[in-house]
Amino acid sequence: MAELAPHTGHRDRLREKLTSAGGLALHDYELLELYLFRCIPRRDTKPIAKDLIARFGDLGGVASAPIEQLVEVKGVSEKTAAELKLIKALSERLAREQVMGRTVIASWSALINYCRTAMQHATTEEFRVLFLDRKNKLIADEVLGRGTIDHAPVYPREVVKRALAHEASALILVHNHPSGDATPSQADIEMTRSLMEICQPFEIVVHDHLVIGRENTASFKTLGLM
């Protein structure tokens, strides 16, 4: 009988640990190891998992990294990189399910979690609009601007056009700061006020503007900026 590779027993122990104690009992690299087992079946994935975490910081950073950067890590093929992108897709979908069709007031923390899951690790700025109905239920979510590391083009009239198309009564604006600092810039403040003015004749309310940083989230409403 062929002798099992040393990492085979390690995989079984990790699976048992996950089953008996849950994901919180495992380190980030161990969870990543478990995921990589299905992508790289006959190889010790622990060094690869550790190298990925070291390169991109955490699981979110790994899942959000571009494929061309992932394949720079030894042992990661294009196929494996594509599989890793599935982590982010699943995370976003699960987080989105917690907020779609629900009132913002009842699911505010879930809404913040969804925005952070989607945008926290983005390497360029994205401008997202959450569209709400008259009962403040989230009915649509669209990225209306993508740009550079410190700027995403925003066209207020396009935002209003999409709001009318969705028959939305209110909006929540969201964008990220890839620099990591969630502090709103003067340009952010001016754009928000301009958008609020354009929305007013259409009786569309802008409830808040969230800025997603690497570690925290800033709210224009909480900061008294609107």
What is the per-residue pLDDT across 52-65, written as a single tens digit (0 to 9) for each?
Answer: 999 998 888 899 89
What is the per-residue pLDDT across 148-172, written as a single tens digit (0 to 9) for each?
Answer: 555 667 788 899 999 999 999 999 9
What is the per-residue pLDDT across 22-55, written as a single tens digit (0 to 9) for each?
Answer: 667 778 888 898 889 888 877 888 999 999 999 9
Structural domains of the chain, ranges and CATH numbers in brackets: 6-93 (1.10.150), 98-219 (3.40.140.10)
Sheet holding 217-219, edge to edge: 138-146, 126-132, 170-176, 205-212, 217-219
**Mean pLDDT within 124-128:** 90
Q: Are 217 and 108 in contact (CB under 8 A)?
A: no
What is the per-residue pLDDT across 67-82, written as a single tens digit (0 to 9) for each?
Answer: 999 999 999 999 999 9
